[in-house]
Amino acid sequence: MQLADTDLFVHPLQLGGNPFGWGADRDQSFAVLDAYAEAGGNFIDTADAYSAWVEGNSGGESETIIGEWMKARGNRDDMVIATKVGMHPKGRGLDPANIRNCVDASLRRLGTDRIDVYYAHRDDDDVDQVAVAETFDALVRSGKVSYLGASNFSLERLQKARKISTKFSLACYRVVQDRFNLVSRSAVDPQKQAYLRSEGMAELPFHSLASGFLTGKHTGGDATGSVRGDRVADFVDDQKALGALEVLHDVAADHEASMTATAIAWQLTHDFIPSTIASARVPEQLTELLAGMEMQLSPEEKTALDGAWVEA
């Protein structure tokens, strides 16, 4: 699938690198990456901040593991690598000097001379926006970065950033990342969807399984075995979320498929989503994720899932 209007062609499942270095150690991460590549996957998402929140980590662990894996397998040119700047504990924000320092650190950890998609991990109102755009543009012109992305940007801020890039003939954001799944849609509301379509931009959603809630494995409130159990708890006592889960269960049952695969398939019915992000701690978890790439939902099933959740 072509990624927006870039020259990148990516797998519809983007492998999230968030667990590498905490939920999955180096060997487990290598096993997941191997299984993903063997299944035809080529699109990996990470960030310089992953996984600084874990005791003993400092950030950059995920990038390091991915870089070591690509070096060991000799497959850098086969992979499309996305990473982010702005949330590392020692490199917060989008100050131009910070961006320049952080991109070089990411390149070193990844063991590569270029980053295919480089994101502003979140918006930063405290810096001059023209300077931010000029700094990202310089990275593209230097060849250190191929394309730019914006993560966790409001529609208003995304529009302003694109206008700055157009006005000064600078490289602009081509792709965006937001939290978007069956039970969390406010970050990509109909207005933002319309804007993405009008600009030919791609949405690459994260939290595609609502931190595991949409797998259906924790509906009783038991998060045993989940490294994100506290996030699942936000949904398990929500009757509206549980109602949406019932609709997902029924559609999955009709296909004799897992709820995981069905949740992924629903995301990919959206024309502005060429690829969705999901992570795995062990290779076995990839099976259900990849199955979602093959599922074809009927118009009636999509309508049922679309209507299963209405934001308050």
CB 34 within 8 A of CB 284: no
Q: What tokens does 275 get?
A: 């690829």
Active site residue 50: yes
d(CA 3, CA 76): 18
Residues forming beta bridges with residue 92, ordered by sequence position: 86, 87
Of 7, 82, 9, 68, the C-alpha closest to 40 is 9
Give the separation between CA 136 and CA 173, rounded to whole angstroms: 9
CA 209 to chain centre: 12
What CA–CA distance (Å, rounded) separates 117 from 42?
A: 13
Amino acid (one-letter) located at 157: R
**How many alpha carbons fall within 13 Å on the CB side of residue 32?**
28
What letter would DSSP give residue 243?
H
Which is nearest to 121 in space by CA: 67, 176, 164?
176
**Which member of 36, 50, 118, 147 is catalytic?**
50
The span from the CA of 50 to the CA of 64, in Å, is 10
Closest CA to 199 of 168, 223, 166: 166
- Cα dihedral value 67, 4, 263, 85, nearest 10: 40
Q: Bridge partners of 91?
A: 88
The bridge status of strand 87-88 relative to strand 91-92 is antiparallel
Q: Which residue has the tokens 């320049």?
A: 100
Residues annotated as part of the active site: 50
